[in-house]
């Protein structure tokens, strides 16, 4: 299921928990409507790739990780293993990773799963991407449902080990509402990293 990647050198990947809006964001970025989205977590079980025939570039929406309603733990672990393996395999090709989190629930979920023997998936994935040397933008989605915007974004920074205030991390933290097409901060952050990789030619996609 994970060996369908088009033969493209450059890649941007979307990662994150199930049901945080990755596929909606993928549709917004590509203008393409065929990607499956649904109210139930775990709709995306294999990578969705979108490539432009004339371009040596692909955007990939990886399956969601973490809890999925009605999905066995064994299957969840297999999906997570496949995601990790995919990122390790293509780390050299990935120009930017977009870690999508739900602005309304991310802090509560992280705190609920923080303990002496447990690292929350979002935090673990953020540091895993960092260890692989992949520049990462945290897209804080569903901000239309968040009242205390700055406070919430500061809390997310804090949980990721980034010293608040969040506004000093605008190349890392991008507040968005994908379903309304409000993804400007994400595009800006991604472009910052593409520029550092000398890939300004890809700005037209973001």
Write down the pLDDT at residue 45: 67
With respect to residue 102, please indicate whether it lies within any of the assigned structural domains: yes
pLDDT tens sequence across 28-57: 998 876 554 444 444 456 788 888 767 899
CA torsion angle 94 171 121 88 (round to 10): 20
Domain-embedded: residue 173: yes
Domains of the chain: total: 1
pLDDT at 68: 62
In a domain, residue 156? The reply is yes
**Tens digit of each residue's pLDDT (9 = 90 or more) over 153-197:** 999 999 999 999 999 999 999 999 999 999 999 999 999 999 999
Domain span holding position 161: 10-198
Q: Is residue 203 included in any domain, yes or no?
A: no
Structural domain contains residue 191: yes
Please indicate, yes or no, if residue 206 is contained in any of the structural domains. Answer: no
- pLDDT of amino acid 38: 42
Q: What integer is the mean pLDDT of 67-95?
A: 86
Place of tokens 């507040």: 175
| Domain CATH for 131 | 3.40.50.300
HSE of 190, CA atoms in CB hemisphere, 13 A: 26
| Residue 205 lies inside a defined structural domain of this protein | no
Residue 3 counted as domain residue: no
């Amino acid at each position: 299921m994970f060996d369908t990647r088009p033969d493209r050198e450059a890649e941007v990947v979307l990662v994150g928990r199930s049901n945080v809006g990755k596929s909606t964001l993928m549709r917004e970025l590509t203008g393409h409507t065929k990607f499956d989205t649904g109210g139930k977590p775990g709709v995306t079980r294999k990578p969705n790739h979108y490539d432009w025939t004339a371009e040596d570039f692909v955007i990939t929406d990886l399956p969601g990780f973490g809890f999925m309603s009605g999905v066995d733990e064994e299957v969840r672990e297999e999906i997570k293993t496949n995601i990790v393996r995919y990122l390790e395999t293509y780390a050299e090709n990935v120009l930017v990773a977009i870690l999508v989190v739900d602005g309304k629930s991310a802090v509560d979920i992280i705190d609920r799963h923080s303990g002496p023997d447990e690292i929350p998936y979002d935090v673990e994935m953020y540091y895993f991407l960092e260890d692989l040397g992949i520049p990462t933008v945290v897209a804080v989605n569903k901000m239309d449902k968040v009242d205390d915007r700055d406070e919430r974004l500061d809390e997310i920074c804090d949980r990721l080990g980034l010293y608040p205030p969040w506004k000093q991390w605008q190349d890392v933290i991008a507040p968005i509402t994908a379903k309304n097409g409000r993804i400007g901060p994400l595009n800006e952050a991604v472009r910052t990293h593409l520029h550092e990789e000398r890939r300004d030619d890809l700005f037209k996609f973001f």
